């Protein structure tokens, strides 16, 4: 830890800036993670920038006060650069990252005297703790006296990681020197071989831990919950009597989905009118081995259940585990009087955060399913309306399916699927198709911040196809690597939504990690207590489904539906708790 020690001072500066309000309330462990991530990211950038500055002639290298002034000037320039429109291109992130690294490197050179010895480093850390407490109190972040403890825990973990990397560097150089002495050559040439050897134990440990996490997540989805141990008795759902899909082949999310159809009697009790038993078709990743076979099985199930005689077919794109929000599906069943079929195909068994490698599979599967259903509807005299629903990662994979259907940048090409309407809820930031769809115009796609606005827009006579529902403070729709280098529009003075904390300020590295930990708390929910906040859209969904899918309902019936949805969620939670 003797080289570029000033980088630790830059890391402490980033750590202190995490003690400000962010999109979601944070637990103590969240704050520690934010401190650790911001410290390591800023320190790494400072180390890279400091090494880059050494390429300058000695007389041009900034040092002392000149380095501090240069860093502040560079930060001011970079902060005021106009950000590109969303989504921020990754090449812009790379170029801006280089600039911020040089700023951090200059700061590291200026801060080097403050961290030049263990005693000075300890004193700087104590000063940072005091600054963290002061910033927390000034901004009302709510950490209180725990801010100093959280900073200490986070920086201790950061310094431990830093010590590990320094040890690996020293080990690689030691092995390179010994190899050069024994076999000849320069030590610098041996580093290409000794470097990977030195880091191999850490890499193996990290990869092994990640594999175990993924395996545990998938095993959890394969378990059979006592509350869902028996297959459904309705022939109108997958896994029931006569089904082509075996109930035992479904995972946790699939069994829940097919076991909770509203039922004709309940629909009549809630709305006063029931036309038919709602249909739910679900095909799991274990139901068939390939995308093509799963799609074929889904269409055969739709045929078996009589889905093509219903007024509406909903293609629901699941999230990473295969989860489809039951509130949305049940709401549609009430709004149609049961005259609806919902179909979903699972593409993975992991939480969405562990499913980046499954996104393309989900997109291909959704594209193939839409194509197969469209081909089937072409032969009908009075085909059902085809609508699409996707939430969170399901919105991403659902929209990416349209990317696969397009030969150019014109989103309307996918209309060959015959889609009447689509509702996309909590779309992740990096979903490119959303931006292209919204750019076509309000007759094609509209963005909303609550479900009531979608319903009111439809009642006013407006017509469009795609509805995007996103809460302004939802970190899932805000989180992106560009937060490392670019101030987002939602933290601009002019563009800041009212639900975003007024005292949150963008800081390189810090805002990225704050938003990252916010995604973990974005959908903390209490069963039956609906909120329209963060990544929790339960309170919006009944009105949003009514408006987006053009399913009119009077205010009294909508209120009755929402009451029943809350009760259904409490019943579902009780059923799950038996497990």
Residues 107 and 237 in one domain: no
Residue 503 near residue 140, CB atoms below 8 Å: yes
pLDDT tens profile 35-82: 999 999 999 999 999 888 888 877 667 676 778 888 889 999 998 888
Considering the domain boundaries, does residue 137 fall inside one? yes
> In this structure, are 247 and 325 located in the same domain?
yes
pLDDT at residue 284, rounded to an integer: 97
Domain C-terminal end among 169, 204, 239 = 204
Does residue 93 share a domain with residue 62? yes
Within a domain: 409: yes
The pLDDT of 114-128, averaged and rounded, is 85
Q: Name the pLDDT band for 2 (thresholds 50, 70, 90).
A: very low
Query: Are 443 and 540 contained in the same domain?
Result: yes
170 lies in the same domain as 289: no
Q: Are residues 199 and 233 in the same domain?
A: no
Q: How far apart are CA 514 and CA 490, in angstroms?
A: 14
Do 230 and 142 lie in one domain? The reply is no
Residue 428 located in a structural domain: yes
Cα 267 from chain centroid (whole Å): 34
Q: Both 257 and 365 in a single domain?
A: yes
Under DSSP, the state recorded for 390 is E
Number of domains composing the chain: 2
Domain boundary among 136, 171, 204: 204
pLDDT computed for residue 1 by the predictor: 39
391 or 217, greater pLDDT: 391
Asked if residue 315 and residue 438 are part of one domain, the reply reads yes
Model confidence at 162, pLDDT cuts 50, 70, 90, reads confident
128 in the same domain as 61:
yes
**DSSP structure class, residue 147:** H
Asked if residue 1 is part of any domain, the answer here is: no
**Average pLDDT of the segment spanning 154-178:** 91
Q: What pLDDT, on a 0 to 100 scale, did the predictor assign at position 482?
A: 97
Q: Are 286 and 252 in contact (CB under 8 A)?
A: no
One domain for residues 185 and 233: no
Distances (CA, A) of 574 to 280, 373, 413, 529: 22, 36, 45, 14
Task: Write out the residue range of the structural domain in which residue 242 sits.
Answer: 223-474+522-577
Instruction: Flag whether 213 is in a domain.
Output: no
The arithmetic mean of pLDDT across residues 306-312, rounded, is: 97
Same domain, 195 and 270: no
Reported as a single tens digit per residue, the pLDDT across 171-208 is 999 999 999 999 888 888 888 899 899 999 999 999 99
The answer to whether residue 3 scores a pLDDT higher than 60 is: no
Q: How many CA atoms lie within 13 A of 386 on its CB side?
A: 22
Nearest-10 Cα torsion for 568, 573, 577, 579: 70
Of 18-32, 326-340, 399-413, 452-466, the range with the lowest mean pLDDT is 399-413
**Among residues 204, 234, 258, which one ends one of the domains?**
204
Tell me if 341 sits within 8 A of 305, measured CB to CB: yes
> How large is the average pLDDT for residues 433-443?
93
pTM of the shown model: 0.93
Angle of helix 252-259 relative to helix 326-335, nearest 10 degrees, comes to: 20
182 within a domain of the structure (yes/no) = yes
119 Cα distance to chain centroid: 41
Q: Quick check: is 492 in a domain?
A: no
Secondary-structure percent of the chain, ordered helix, strand, coil, rounded to 5: 60, 10, 35
Domain membership of residue 506 (yes or no) is no
């Amino acid at each position: 830890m003797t080289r570029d020690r000033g980088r630790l001072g830059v890391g402490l500066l980033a750590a202190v800036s995490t003690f400000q309000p962010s999109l979601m309330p944070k637990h103590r462990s969240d704050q520690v993670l934010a401190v650790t991530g911001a410290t390591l990211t800023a320190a790494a950038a400072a180390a890279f920038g400091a090494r880059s500055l050494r390429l300058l002639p000695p007389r041009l290298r900034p040092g002392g006060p000149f380095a501090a002034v240069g860093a502040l000037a560079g930060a001011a320039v970079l902060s005021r650069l106009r950000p590109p429109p969303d989504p921020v291109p990754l090449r812009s992130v790379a170029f801006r990252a280089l600039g911020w690294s040089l700023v951090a490197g200059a700061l590291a050179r200026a801060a080097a005297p403050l961290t030049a010895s263990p005693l000075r480093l300890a004193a700087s850390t104590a000063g940072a703790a005091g600054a963290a407490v002061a910033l927390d109190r000034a901004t009302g972040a709510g950490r209180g006296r725990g801010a100093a403890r959280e900073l200490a825990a986070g920086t201790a973990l950061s310094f431990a990681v830093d010590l590990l990397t320094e040890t690996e560097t020293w080990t690689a150089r030691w092995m390179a020197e010994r190899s050069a002495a024994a076999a000849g050559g320069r030590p610098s040439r041996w580093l290409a071989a000794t470097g990977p050897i030195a880091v191999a134990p850490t890499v193996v440990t990290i990869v092994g831990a990640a594999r175990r996490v993924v395996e545990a997540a998938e095993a959890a989805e394969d378990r059979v919950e006592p509350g869902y141990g028996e297959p459904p008795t309705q022939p109108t759902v997958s896994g029931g009597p006569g089904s082509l899909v075996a109930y035992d082949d479904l995972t946790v999310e699939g069994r829940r989905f097919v076991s909770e159809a509203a039922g004709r009697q309940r629909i009549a009790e809630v709305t006063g009118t029931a036309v038919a038993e709602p249909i739910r078709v679900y095909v799991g990743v274990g139901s068939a081995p390939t995308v093509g076979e799963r799609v074929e099985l889904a269409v055969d199930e739709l045929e078996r259940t009589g889905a093509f005689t219903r007024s509406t077919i909903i293609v629901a794109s699941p999230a990473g585990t295969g989860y489809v929000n039951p509130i949305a599906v049940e709401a549609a069943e009430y709004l149609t009087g049961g005259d609806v079929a919902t179909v979903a195909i699972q593409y993975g068994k992991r939480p969405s955060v562990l499913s980046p490698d499954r996104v393309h599979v989900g997109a291909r599967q959704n594209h193939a399913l839409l194509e197969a259903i469209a081909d089937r509807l072409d032969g009908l005299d009075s085909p059902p309306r085809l609508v699409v629903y996707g939430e969170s990662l399901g919105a991403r994979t659902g929209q990416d399916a349209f990317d696969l259907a397009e030969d150019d940048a014109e989103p309307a090409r996918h209309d060959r699927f015959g889609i009447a309407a689509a509702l996309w809820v909590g779309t992740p930031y990096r979903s490119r198709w959303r931006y292209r769809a919204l750019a076509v115009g309000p007759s094609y796609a509209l963005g909303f911040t609550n479900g009531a606005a979608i319903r009111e827009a439809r009642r006013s006579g407006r017509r469009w196809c795609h509805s995007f529902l996103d809460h302004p403070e939802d970190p899932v729709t805000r989180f992106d690597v560009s937060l490392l280098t670019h101030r987002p529009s939602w933290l601009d003075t002019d563009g800041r939504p009212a639900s975003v904390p007024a005292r949150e300020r963008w800081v390189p590295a810090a805002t990225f990690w704050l938003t990252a930990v916010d995604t973990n708390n974005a959908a903390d929910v209490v069963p039956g207590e609906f909120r329209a906040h963060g990544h929790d859209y339960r309170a919006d969904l009944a009105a949003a489904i009514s408006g987006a899918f053009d399913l009119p309902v009077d205010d009294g019936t909508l209120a009755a539906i929402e009451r029943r949805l809350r009760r259904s969620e409490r019943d579902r939670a009780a059923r799950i708790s038996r497990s």
